[in-house]
């Protein structure tokens, strides 16, 4: 399969690319497209064969369910028969945006999408290209992140191409995604509601709408597909928690060790610390006080290190609040046991 890349502007003013892409979706093909979080690998969510191709293209286990993307709130009623007022309150407050809701599924959704579960994850992305594509395709679009299984999610079309060239029909390239980490997943089928994956929407902001929400528990596998090792660069990642001088000293200590042993390694540092590691290979994650910036850069920096062939990444941890909870979750998973990726 030849992978075509079409550039498209953020506001999606030239519709021709959307028409081409929607034809691919309608005929059961795969299209990678930008969302506000990360790029997604999309197929017609109501076409089981098309969705099967997603798993094949990513080498993704069939036990890992997909998120269904919609562009019209009304479509939620086609995907679930159990939509309550509280669901709609959340939808009104956060959609379009980086919040995925897990609901009881309706008969319309093929079981391959939900990995055999009776629940479905749904979200409305906040990106004109994604919304236009869904609308023009006249169907909900199932889309996981457009990376090979287990790799860091793609925040640029180039990242998608690096992983999926020859495995996807078309990539819509609208530049770098703004948020950079995936959506927050909130399970509405258990009481109290529970965060299954921290992401672009923080627990604090969810609690302004629904006060009783169980926070994310990173040490438990709550969601099928939330594997202990995930979002991983090829390099071995070592997370150095904490802040201030203690954190810098620890990073420098480890760096000196790896240097002595002759390793190719890199340091992912907060902006304020970058110059403290100038004698080593160092990349800037973003200012420690600006977690939004850090989230937007996270996966790009990890992939850059991979491209440059380092075998170890020393990663400074960030403050665990707001979107920092999602960043730290991804870094902890990136530390997980290495597997082989094809
Ligand atoms: O920001 C995002 O959510 C991106 C963009 C493309 O929308 N998508 C994304 O998809 O991150 P993916 O497949 O990489 O992660 C989706 C995760 C699955 O791994 C699974 O843990 C969870 O969503 N999920 C999907 N359906 C579920 C369900 N019915 N119950 C619980 N968890 C579910
Ligand atoms: Mg993913």
Q: Do 44 and 81 have their domain in common?
A: yes
Is residue 130 within a helix (H) or strand (E), and if so which, with residue range? helix 128-137
- CA 156-160-165 angle, 5° bins: 145
Helix, strand, coil abundance in the chain, percent, nearest 5:
35, 20, 50
Q: Is 35 in the pocket of ligand 1 (CB under 6 A)?
A: yes
The number of domains in the chain is 2
Residue 106 lies inside a defined structural domain of this protein: yes
Q: Give the chain's residues under pLDDT 50.
A: 337-342
Q: pLDDT by residue (tens digit) across 167-193?
A: 999 999 999 999 999 999 999 999 999
Q: Do residues 198 and 295 lie in contact, with contact meaning Cβ atoms separated by under 8 Å?
A: no
**Residue 234: its pLDDT value, please?**
87
Closest Cα to atom 15 of ligand 1: 144
Q: Do 150 and 24 have their domain in common?
A: yes
Q: Do 190 and 277 have their domain in common?
A: no
**Residue 220: its pLDDT value, please?**
65
Q: Do 210 and 244 have their domain in common?
A: no
In ligand 1, the atom with minimum distance to the C-alpha of 183 is: 1
Q: Do residues 297 and 327 lie in contact, with contact meaning Cβ atoms separated by under 8 Å?
A: no
Q: Do residues 98 and 200 lie in contact, with contact meaning Cβ atoms separated by under 8 Å?
A: yes
Q: Do 195 and 244 have their domain in common?
A: no
DSSP category for residue 145: B
**β-bridge pairing 4-7 and 99-104:** unpaired
Q: Do 132 and 267 have their domain in common?
A: no
From CA 134, how far away is CA 322, in angstroms rounded?
Answer: 29
Q: Do 63 and 163 have their domain in common?
A: yes
* Token couple for 20: 């081409």
Q: Do 47 and 123 have their domain in common?
A: yes
Peptide bond preceding 96 in cis form (omega within 30 of 0)? yes
In ligand 1, the atom with minimum distance to the C-alpha of 37 is: 1
Q: Which of 182, 218, 228, 323 to mutate for ligand 1's pocket (most ligand atoms within 8 Å of CB)?
A: 182
What global pTM score does this model have? 0.94
Q: Which of 34, 96, 109, 121 to mutate for ligand 1's pocket (most ligand atoms within 8 Å of CB)?
A: 121
Residue (of 292, 329, 231, 229) closest to 98 by Cα position: 292
Closest Cα to atom 29 of ligand 1: 120
Supply the DSSP string of 221-289, one letter for each residue: --STT--SS-S--SSEEEEE---HHHHHHHHHHHHHHHHHTT--EEEEEEGGGGGGGTTS-EEEEE-TT
Q: Is 313 in the pocket of ligand 1 (CB under 6 A)?
A: no
Residue 301 lies inside a defined structural domain of this protein: yes
Q: Which ligand is nearest to the CA of 61?
A: 1
CATH number, residue 287: 3.40.50.11030
Q: pLDDT by residue (tens digit) across 98-139?
A: 999 999 999 999 999 999 999 999 999 999 999 999 999 999
Cβ-proximal residues to 249 (8 Å cutoff; 6+ apart), any chain? none
Q: Which of 35, 43, 65 to mutate for ligand 1's pocket (most ligand atoms within 8 Å of CB)?
A: 65
- Residue 285 belongs to what domain range? 236-334
Region of 286 please: left (phi>0), alpha (psi -120 to 50) or beta: left
Q: Do residues 305 and 188 lie in contact, with contact meaning Cβ atoms separated by under 8 Å?
A: no
């Amino acid at each position: 399969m030849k992978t075509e890349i079409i550039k498209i502007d953020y506001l999606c003013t030239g519709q021709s690319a959307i028409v081409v892409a929607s034809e691919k979706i309608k005929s059961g093909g795969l299209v990678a497209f930008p969302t506000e979080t990360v790029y997604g690998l999309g197929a017609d969510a109501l076409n089981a064969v098309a969705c099967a191709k997603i798993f094949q293209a990513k080498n993704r286990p069939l036990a890992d369910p997909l998120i269904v993307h919609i562009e019209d709130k009304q479509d939620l009623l086609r995907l679930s028969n159990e939509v309550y007022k509280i669901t709609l309150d959340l939808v009104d407050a956060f959609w379009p945006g980086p919040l995925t809701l897990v609901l009881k599924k309706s008969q319309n959704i093929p079981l391959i999408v939900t990995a055999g579960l009776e629940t479905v994850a749904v979200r409305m992305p906040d990106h004109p290209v994604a919304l236009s594509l869904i609308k023009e395709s006249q169907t909900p679009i199932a889309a996981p992140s457009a990376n090979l299984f287990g790799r860091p999610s793609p925040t640029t079309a180039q990242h998608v191409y690096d992983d999926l060239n020859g495995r996807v029909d078309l990539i819509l390239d609208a530049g770098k995604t703004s948020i950079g980490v995936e959506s927050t997943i909130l399970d509405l089928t258990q009481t109290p509601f529970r965060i299954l994956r921290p992401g672009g929407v923080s627990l604090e902001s969810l609690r302004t709408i629904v006060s009783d929400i169980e926070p994310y528990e990173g040490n438990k596998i709550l969601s099928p597909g939330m594997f202990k090792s995930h979002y991983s660069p090829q390099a071995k990642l070592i997370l150095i928690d904490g802040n201030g001088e203690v954190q810098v000293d620890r990073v420098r200590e480890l760096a000196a060790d790896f240097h002595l042993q002759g390793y190719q390694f890199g340091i992912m540092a907060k902006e304020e610390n970058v110059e403290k590691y100038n004698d080593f290979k160092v990349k800037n994650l973003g200012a420690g006080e600006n977690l939004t910036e850090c989230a937007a850069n996270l996966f790009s920096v990890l992939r850059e290190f991979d491209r440059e062939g380092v075998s170890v990444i020393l990663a400074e941890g960030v403050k665990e609040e707001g979107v920092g909870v999602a960043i730290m979750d991804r870094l902890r998973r990136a530390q997980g046991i290495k597997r082989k990726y094809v």
